[in-house]
């Protein structure tokens, strides 16, 4: 298999450090550099916990120019992730984006840029295969049970709410469900936010607690019955087979793919 040259942005983070391991362990992947907001000019091996000798860049354009990667894996923050994704496309580098917190407008802009540049990009709110199945099963269930609420639970260092997965699940359900208001028509929030966020009538609840990693339950209600579809990630290794799949697939597409469910048969 042809070698794929990769840059990782956010390599020191919880997900990024796991992605460094994945790239190192995969024979046809080659890590050529990492992007950080600190440590310009150092090697990754100078930092605690890494023994990989690749340069650290704080300037992503310079990084792309000097290392000519095929793929950028971005695992940073919502704000920075957007900038990196745009810069990757402008530099002819295929982005694989795990970073969440992008708005509909951001996605539309990136889709336009991807089409203009004619190179592939993958934005995946969740790389875990079990989470993809949870979303697909939820979409199936929503055809039969239209009353649904999403409860996503994450560690308390997470920046965005609702999670990318929660939002994507709501979007997938909304695509097959006629929009409706749930609960009592006269219901009133005594405390603002008590009923959660509202995506086309679907309620989304975000729990943030230390000890959690990434969990989501999609709860459906019908006459005298409920159905719960749940996924739990207990560690960040759970996301890595999806990252590998995304890197391999981004080399084969020439458009923006939003969600791994679009490349998993
Ligand atoms: N798609 C998926 O399956 C998953 C996505 N995520 C998402 O990935 C992102 C990262 O999550 P974590 O690793 O938990 O966060 P983290 O906070 O552990 O890591 C973020 C990293 O980004 C770096 N960073 C911040 N500003 C930067 C800049 N200007 N340039 C380069 N690097 C910069 C930080 O130094 C840090 O190392 C989040 O958006 C999260 O929602 C997390 C888990 C799974
Ligand atoms: O920040 C996280 O941790 C996660 N973020 C993604 C999201 O927002 O859905 C994926 C996963 O849930 C972990």
In tens digits, what is the pLDDT along the chain, a chain of 265 residues? 899 999 999 999 999 999 999 999 999 999 999 999 999 999 999 999 999 999 999 999 999 999 999 999 999 999 999 999 999 999 999 999 999 999 999 999 999 999 999 999 999 999 999 999 999 999 999 999 999 999 999 999 999 999 999 999 999 999 999 999 999 999 999 999 999 999 999 999 999 999 999 999 999 999 999 999 999 999 999 999 999 999 999 999 999 999 999 999 7
Distance (angstroms) between ligand 2 centre and the Cα of 125 equals: 7
Catalytic site residues? 154, 158
Q: Helices 164-174 and 129-142 sit at what angle, rounded to 10 degrees? A: 30
**The token pair that represents 173 in the structure block:** 């359900």
- Whether cis (ω within 30° of 0) applies to the bond prior to 162 is yes
The phi, psi pair for 33, rounded to 5°, reads: -170, 165
CB of 162 within 6 A of ligand 1: the answer is no
Burial bucket for residue 209 (CB in 10 Å: 0-12, 13-18, 19+): exposed
175 CB burial (10 A radius; 0-12, 13-18, 19+): exposed
Q: Are 81 and 99 in contact (CB under 8 A)?
A: yes
Within 10 A of 114 (CB to CB), how many other CB atoms are there?
23
Domains located in the chain, CATH noted: 4-123+237-262 (3.40.50.720), 129-234 (3.30.360.10)
Which residue has the CA at smallest separation from atom 19 of ligand 1?
13
**How many Å lie between the centroid of ligand 1 and the Cα of residue 235?**
15
CA distance 53 to 115: 35
Q: Which of 152, 214, 261 to mutate to test the pocket of ligand 2 (most atoms within 8 A of CB)?
A: 214
């Amino acid at each position: 298999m042809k070698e794929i040259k990769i840059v990782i942005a956010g390599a020191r983070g919880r997900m990024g450090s796991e992605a460094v391991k994945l790239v190192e362990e995969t024979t046809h992947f080659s890590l050529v550099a990492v992007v950080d907001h600190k440590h310009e000019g150092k090697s990754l091996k100078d930092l605690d916990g890494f023994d990989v000798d690749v340069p650290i860049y704080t300037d992503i354009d310079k990084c792309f120019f000097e290392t000519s990667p095929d793929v950028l894996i971005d695992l940073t923050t919502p704000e920075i992730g957007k900038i990196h994704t745009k810069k990757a496309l402008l530099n002819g580098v295929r982005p694989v984006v795990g970073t969440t917190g992008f708005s509909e407008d951001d996605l539309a802009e990136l889709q336009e840029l991807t089409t203009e540049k004619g190179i592939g990009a993958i934005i995946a709110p969740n790389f875990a295969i079990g989470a993809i199945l949870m979303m697909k099963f939820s979409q199936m269930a929503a055809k039969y049970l239209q009353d649904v609420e999403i409860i996503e639970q994450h560690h308390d260092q997470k920046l965005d709410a609702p999670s990318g997965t929660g939002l994507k699940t709501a979007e997938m359900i909304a695509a097959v469900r006629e929009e409706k208001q749930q609960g009592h028509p006269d219901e009133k929030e005594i405390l603002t936010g008590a009923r959660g966020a509202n995506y086309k009538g679907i309620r989304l609840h975000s729990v943030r607690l230390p000890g959690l990693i990434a969990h989501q339950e999609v709860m459906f209600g019908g006459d005298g019955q409920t159905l719960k579809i749940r996924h739990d990630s207990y560690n960040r290794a759970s996301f890595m087979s999806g990252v590998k799949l995304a890197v391999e697939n981004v080399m084969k597409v020439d458009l923006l793919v939003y969600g791994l469910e679009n490349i998993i048969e």
